Structure formats: structure tokens, C-alpha cells
Amino acid sequence: MAFSFEEGELLLIDKPIEWTSFDAVNFIRSFLKHCFKLKKLKVGHAGTLDPLATGLLLVCTGKKTKTIQDLQNMDKTYTGTMLLGQTTPSFDLESEPDGYFSTENITFEELETARTKFIGAIEQIPPIYSAIKIDGKRAFLYARKNQDVNMIARKITIYDFELTAINIPVIEFKVSCSKGTYIRSLVNDFGAALNNGACLTSLRRTHIGAYSVEDSFTIDKFRELVLHELNP
């Protein structure tokens, strides 16, 4: 496999858990600059994944970075798990629980009714623990100082929201959605629609447009391929 990183490559990377998207970009940039003895190299990603999420990250190098906006606009698909009966400020496991609810009386009919409320064009309030800028500062910086922030609702589209396995309080799901969708917010809102609570416990991005995580490289595999190209 021949790469041309300065001319431009679109890399399909399977982001590992606990790495930020910028960790992946910074690693790839530093690694390639070192391998090919480059003074500088443009590298960027098309669509952030939270540190606790895994899966498809599109990383562009060289002239391919000009396509990042188009890639970001593509629809996305995720699989994941949620825990009913518990809420957290970050809507996932990055923060400690701040609310507990009994899940004993939740019925399958109630789950189905709540699920259908979120299919189609909806307005969604992003989590305060996010990188959205408010008055020039990232929202999570306000959240860490317990400062109140007015998060503005965004119009998004949920094309499909499927509960793939139900074993209350744990639910597995699959979501296909438009750009700008926060799955953490979807899970939190789903819990509220049940008059209960829910937080995201795992998330994996499987598709961005026609690109699939099935065709992606792990960081280690990518590193191995590049080194093999240099030393066949």
C-alpha cells in the first residue's frame, strides 16, 4: 500500500478508548513527520469522538484537509449502551452520578413510546460538558467550575433509533443521525422521556457517510503499515 501524505490521504482510523480525537491527530502528525523527515504536515480530523467513545475517525493529511468540512457534513451511525436509572452531569461516565431512579416499573411499551419521540427532525440541547464555544470559551471549562451556561438547542435529525437489546437497566442501541448530534444528549433525553434517568456507558461510531469502521486501521496497524512501506 503506497501512501502520499503530503499530497493528501484520507485515513480511516479506529480511535481507541481514552484517546481524544486530537490525540489521534497529533500522534499521526508527529509520527509521519518523524518517519518522512518533514518540517510540517497538515493533519486534521472530520468529526470529534469523545475520549470514552471508540470507532471511525476520518483523518485527513496534506491537501485532503480541504475536504474536512464536506466529510463533517455527512450522516453518522453509532452503536452503544446506556444505563437507565442514573444521570451524570456529562451524560456519560466521565463524571460522577448526580441522580438515581428506580427502574423496576419501566415497561417495554414505555421504552417504545419514548424511543419514537426522538425519530425525525428534533431540537437537541448539547451537553455542557462539550467543546462547544460559549463567549470564546469551551463549554466544558464553565462546567468544570460549576458555572451556569445557557446551551442553545440545535436542529438535528435522527433517522433511526433502535433499541437492539433490552436488559433493564442496561439497553443496547443503534442510532443513525445527522451531523451535530450528541448521542450523550439523546441518551439523557431518552431517560427524561421515561420520567427516569439514563447515561451513556459505551459508544462506537461505525459509519460516516459511506465510510465504515470495518475498513479502518487501528493506530498500531497504521503505524505498522507505514513502517513496512519505509522498510519493505
Pairing state between β 217-218 and 10-15? parallel
The Cα 219–Cα 231 span in angstroms is 18
CB 10 within 8 A of CB 47: no
Q: Count other Cβ atoms within 10 Å, centred on residue 74.
A: 16
- Which 3-state string (H, E, C) describes 65-124? HHHHHHHHCCCEEEEEEEEECEECCCCCCCCCCCEECCCCCCCHHHHHHHHHCCCEEEEE
Query: Coil, helix or strand for 160?
Result: strand
Catalytic residue IDs = 50
What is the CA angle 7-41-47, rounded to 5?
A: 90
Strand, helix or coil at 161? strand
Grid coordinates of 213: 469502521
